[in-house]
Amino acid sequence: MNNKANHCDTKASCKGCNHSECLLSGVEEPKLGEECGVFGMYDLNGDDVASTIYYGLFSLQHRGQESCGIAVSRTDGPIRNSNVCKGMGLVHEVFDAEKLGKMKGDIGVGHVRYSTAGASVAENTQPLVLNYIKGTLSLAHNGNLVNALEIRRELELSGAIFQTSIDSEVIAYLIARERLKVGKVEEAVKNAMTKIKGAYSLVVASPRKLIGARDPHGFRPLCIGKRDNAYILSSETCALDTIGAEFVRDVRPGEIVTITPDGIESDMSMAIEKPARCIFEYIYFARPDSYIDGICVHSSRLIAGKILAQTHPVEADIVVGVPESGNAAAMGYAIESGIPYGTAFIKNSYVGRTFIKPKQSARESSVMIKLNALREVVRDKRVVMIDDSIVRGTTSARIVQILKEAGAKEVHVRISSPPFKYPCYFGTDVPSSEQLVAYNHSVDEICSLIGADSLGYLDIERLSELIDGDEGYCHACFSGEYPVEPPKEDIRGNYEK
């Protein structure tokens, strides 16, 4: 500890402390991350799909920036003819024209990954490719299982050998084992689904079929597209737009879709009455130009901003959003309140995952590298600043300070989600409650900690308005009401997706 009794010396000792000095010391919290994005394609004309999968993954890059991969094979070739390329880094860093040109195959899956805890290492990159007696099985997974450790231990006791530390390998192993008992790979996927619990959107390529599956609660999105005589599975519709494919429909919660030359077969036997889609897909994760289960993400964020203006009005001169997900909510607030909307932040689009972080300093922080305030826009203004969430509070405190250093007279913070109070076990890296500033602090206390003139959150009772009043969504990170019983141990610390 240093001379200030309530200020911590290092990032490790400061973790979760929420001291006001620490919030401005350069100890930055990362933005919330989402597990990953999946993409699959089957060209019934027999044309190669690798380059199209590449562009699909490029459109899903926001869902994961740590690693990526593509696996393709030929449906008219031997049952073991998979061609795989994957590695650490962004899509354009891992792939080039030469690599893609060598990947011959008319069926394939792709993946972009973000890990919530533990090491981000090459062996955990996806897709996972298994060679077994029935041929090759390629799998990409978005989500997080809550019983992965339990199943993994059971499998290990029966002789299974695992090469990774991700729960996706548990799913792949179960499917491969079940395939030996049934006549079709889609039946093996269904049997595996009866054993796993939690969040999973899967894209699976067998030697002759492309399969998509979504967990019964529908935590993570998955949709179907079509381009000419090719079918596509994607985490978001924005990737379909990128490759010029038409949207066919969403994969429904609990549904297994099987794509063959005969078309699409559907199995809804795993569906339940009330799904629990992740509401944070609409608030933050998904690209604003995507549609998830028929709902426009951009429209959801506009509605959130309008609700904030209704429930937390304030006299101000300008409304601004924190890029990117805060922008649409800020527009909604401006429309509803009549306060002019403006652009107050310039975002450095070239700050990638590997930028060199400066030393801990009040003048040099990762937030300042990523964002800079337009002084002429905010000088002598009362500013309403809209952001999507507050986790520990460090980033929010720094952004408020940036605005005030740029000359803002007042900064009124509005958050387009309710306060985070509980961890997420379904594919979002909301940390343990002790690290969440809202768990042990009132709204007024958080307002003081981040240096704002006022603070208002979206009311949890109005969350359903973001998705047209549909109550079938998960809000556990705000309410603590989990649709699936959480694990007895926090698997995210030592067994990560």
Q: What is the pLDDT of residues 235-277, one digit of tens each?
A: 999 999 999 999 999 999 999 999 999 999 999 999 999 999 9
**What does pTM read for this prediction?**
0.89
Q: Cβ contacts of residue 5 below 8 Å, gap of 6+?
A: none
pLDDT tens sequence across 122-175: 889 999 999 999 999 999 999 999 999 999 999 999 888 898 889 999 999 999
Taking alpha carbons only, the member of 114, 94, 113 closest to residue 103 is: 94
pLDDT at 497 over 60: no
Domains and CATH numbers, the chain: 11-30+291-486 (3.40.50.2020), 36-275 (3.60.20.10)
What SS3 class is residue 250? strand
Give CA–CA dist 83/409, Å, rounded: 59
Question: Which tokens in the block code for residue 69?
Answer: 């991969």
Say if CB 460 and CB 454 are below 8 A apart.
no
Q: What is the pLDDT of residues 70-107, one digit of tens each?
A: 999 999 999 889 999 999 999 999 999 999 999 999 99
**496 by DSSP, 3-state: which?**
coil
Q: How does residue 376 score in pLDDT terms, banded at 50, 70 and 90?
A: very high
Torsion sign (Cα): 267, 269, 274, 279: negative
Task: Give the Cα separation of 37 and 256 in Å (integer).
Answer: 18
Please state the φ and ψ torsions of residue 105, each to the nearest 5 degrees.
Answer: 175, 145
Question: Phi-psi region for residue 362, left (φ > 0), alpha (ψ -120 to 50) or beta?
Answer: alpha
Cα distances (Å, whole numbers) of residue 210 to 189, 194, 259, 279: 12, 20, 5, 28
As a whole-number percent, the residues of the chain with pLDDT over 90 amount to 78
Mean pLDDT of 220-224: 97
In this predicted structure, what is the pLDDT of residue 35?
Answer: 64
Q: For the chain, what is the total number of helices (H) and then of strands (E)? A: 17, 23
Assess whether pLDDT exceeds 70 at residue 364. no
Q: What's the CA gap between 480 and 421, in Å, rounded?
A: 7
* 68 sits in which H/E element: strand 67-73
What is the band of 368 on the pLDDT scale with cuts at 50, 70, 90? low
Quickly count: other Cβ atoms within 10 Å of residue 9's Cβ: 13
Instruction: State residue 125's pLDDT score.
Output: 93
The mean pLDDT of 342-359, rounded to a whole number, is 66
**270 burial type by CB count under 10 A (0-12 exposed, 13-18 middle, 19+ buried):** middle
pLDDT averaged over every residue in the chain: 88
Give 179-213 pLDDT, tens digit per residue.
Answer: 999 999 999 999 999 999 999 999 999 999 999 99
Nearest to 169 by CA among 215, 135, 200, 191: 200
For residue 13, what pLDDT is reported?
34
Q: Of 31-40, 185-194, 435-444, which gets the smallest average pLDDT?
A: 31-40
pLDDT of residue 350: 62
Residue 107 contacts residue 70 (beta carbons within 8 Å): no
- The 8-class DSSP code of residue 358 comes to P
Q: Residue 197, CB half-sphere, CA atoms under 13 Å: how many?
A: 12
Helices 185-193 and 167-179, axial angle in degrees (round to 10) = 130
- Residue 131's pLDDT is what? 92
Known active-site residue 447 = no
Identify the band that residue 26 occupies on the pLDDT scale cut at 50, 70 and 90.
very low
What's the maximum distance between 2 C-alpha atoms anywhere in the chain? Answer: 73
Q: Which of 223-227, 460-464, 489-493 has the lowest mean pLDDT?
A: 489-493
Task: Give SS3 for 460.
Answer: helix
In this prediction, residue 205 carries a pLDDT of: 98
Write the CB contacts of 212 (distance below 8 Å, at least 6 apart in sequence).
40, 201, 202, 203, 204, 222, 224, 233, 251, 256, 257, 259
Comparing 237-246, 250-259, 449-458, 488-497, which segment has the lowest mean pLDDT? 488-497
Residue 369 pLDDT class (50, 70, 90 cuts): confident
Report how far residue 323's alpha carbon sits from residue 388's, in angstroms, rounded to the nearest whole number. Answer: 9
Q: Edge-to-edge strands of the sheet including 83-88?
A: 83-88, 67-73, 107-113, 36-43, 230-234, 223-227, 246-250
Strands (E), 341-387: 345-347, 371-373, 382-387
User: Rounded to an integer, what distance in angstroms lies between the CA atom of residue 403 and that of residue 416?
Assistant: 19
Q: What per-residue confidence (pLDDT) applies to 45?
A: 97
CA atoms within 13 A on the CB side of 109: 28
DSSP per-residue letters across 81-143: --EEEEEES-HHHH--HHHHHT---SEEEEEEE--SSS---GGG-SSEEEEETTEEEEEEEES
Query: Is the C-alpha dihedral spanning 75, 78, 80, 81 positive or negative?
Result: negative
pLDDT tops 80 at residue 431 = no
For residue 127, is the peptide bond before it cis, meaning its omega torsion is within 30 degrees of 0? yes
Which pLDDT score, from 0 to 100, does residue 119 have? Answer: 52
Residue 2: pLDDT above 70? no
CA dist., res. 72 & res. 107, Å (int): 6
From 432, 421, 433, select the one nearest 478 (Cα to Cα).
Answer: 421
What H or E segment, with its residue span, contains residue 456?
strand 454-457
Which pLDDT score is estimated for 225? 98
Of the listed 14, 36, 68, 238, which one is catalytic?
36
